[in-house]
Amino acid sequence: MGQPEGTEPDARFTLANERTFLAWSRTSLALVVAGLGVAQLLPPFKGVPWGRSAIAAPLILLGAALSALSYFEWKRNQRALRLGEPMARSVLPRILSLTITVIALLAGAVDLYSKVHGG
């Protein structure tokens, strides 16, 4: 393996990039734990046996995806810093906000369906 390409960036930028990655990692972990909490601790929805899984699985999968994507974003940003290039805009906030919105709507729909059809 050869020398890293480019020049060593200012340590402040490298550390800021790392802090951002760690923040995304904490968010990923929180999503996985929330999904596991829904799956294991939320009382079952009456008449909707699949309700907890329908809410929990997307949370867990989003946490896993966010963790992997945040690593690739950290790596891409670190490369841009080394080469003195502008950093690309992050798609992670958009992915996170849209997916959580869909999961929240799904959770609301499951809850309403349970109340109407669950007896």
Residue extents of the structural domains in the chain: 11-117
> How confident is the model over 51-71, as a mean pLDDT?
97
Q: What is the pLDDT of residue 30?
A: 98
Using CA atoms of 55, 71, 77, 16 in order, give the dihedral in degrees to the nearest 10.
90
pLDDT at position 1 over 80: no
